Amino acid sequence: MGNNKRYAAAMLVAGAIALSGCSAATEPAADTSGAAAPSASAPAETTAAAPVAGGPESVKFDDRHLPADLSDVYTVQLNIAQQWADNVTTSPYGLSGQWTLDGNDSANTAKLWANYFSDDLKAKLTEAGTGDISGIAPWAMMALAPPESSDAIKASPSCTMDFDSCSFFMIQADGTGQQTGSYNRDTVDQSVPNRVAFDYDFTAPVSLTEQGNAEGVLKGLLKLDVTFVPNPTPGDGRAPYLIDSVNNNVVDANADLASNFPELHFSGGMNAS
């Protein structure tokens, strides 16, 4: 991998992972030592496109993965947080560049996670629009510049809105596949009621402009930290506990050529309906 490795300038831009290199007031969360960061200016094509009417479809909440005992609040909330982390790190709406094309609007973030977010959080995101949401829900979505962008790290053409998720799976020695994204059980912190925090390793498909638009692999650590409130209208298709605040962070994000990871295979999957 060596000389081909590129470090991503992971910055807060309206709650997204700014791997398009957009500038922001906050310091980069990624370790950029010994490597040049992508350009700090966002290309015009990532901001000038007209928003798509209606925005994204809301990601469905799959209650089939909930534990049988819904009275075990800690286990239920951990389960919901894990489901959401899986969705955040594989959502084609952000990873395909569509969120950026739609104007970097936090109202679209609220709509995307309507089945996971509380009414109060959705209202705050909608009101903020394209403004600063660092105090509301930073890193609530991972977003890339579209494939036609000139940014150093951008969306892979493999990840499109035709899919419900964009991820990698790893071929095991026995020939079976395993999803790469996972949370570290040892880091789970539920010491405060209605709060869940843990470290989540993610791997996402990208395209590397400076490598001739070659397919790339972005790896990083999502430090998830959310609080919950009970769903006031159970049975409405939303989670039984809703995320009421987000204080996520991304660290150690870096990208490399996909050819350096022969064990990884792109998976454009369909979420359970």
Domain ranges of the chain: 2-20+59-269
Alpha carbon distances (Å) from 61 to 82, 113, 127: 12, 9, 24
The CA-CA-CA angle for residues 184, 189, 195, to 5°, reads 120
101 in helix, strand or coil? helix
- Integer Cα distance of 265 and 225 in angstroms: 29
Q: What is residue 176's predicted lDDT score, i.e. its pLDDT?
A: 62
How far, in whole angstroms, is CA 13 from its chain's centroid?
Answer: 13
- Integer Cα distance of 257 and 108 in angstroms: 31
Instruction: Please report where in the chains the tokens 């009970």 appear, as a residue.
Output: 230
- Locate all alpha helices (DSSP H) within the chain, ordered by sequence: 73-88, 92-95, 98-101, 106-112, 119-128
pLDDT tens digit string along 134-189? 999 999 999 999 999 999 999 999 999 999 999 998 766 666 656 677 899 999 99
Under the banding of pLDDT at 50, 70 and 90, the label for residue 10 is: very low
User: Percentage of the chain with pLDDT > 70?
Assistant: 76
Q: Which residues of 76-114 are buried (b: 16+ CB within 10 A; e: fewer)?
A: bbbbbbbbbbbbbbbbbbbbbbbbbbbbbbbbbbbbbbb
| CB within 8 Å of 54: residues ≥ 6 apart | none
pTM of the model: 0.81
Residue 246 reports pLDDT greater than 90? yes
What rounded mean pLDDT belongs to the chain?
81
Residue 27 reports pLDDT greater than 70? no
- Integer Cα distance of 35 and 252 in angstroms: 13
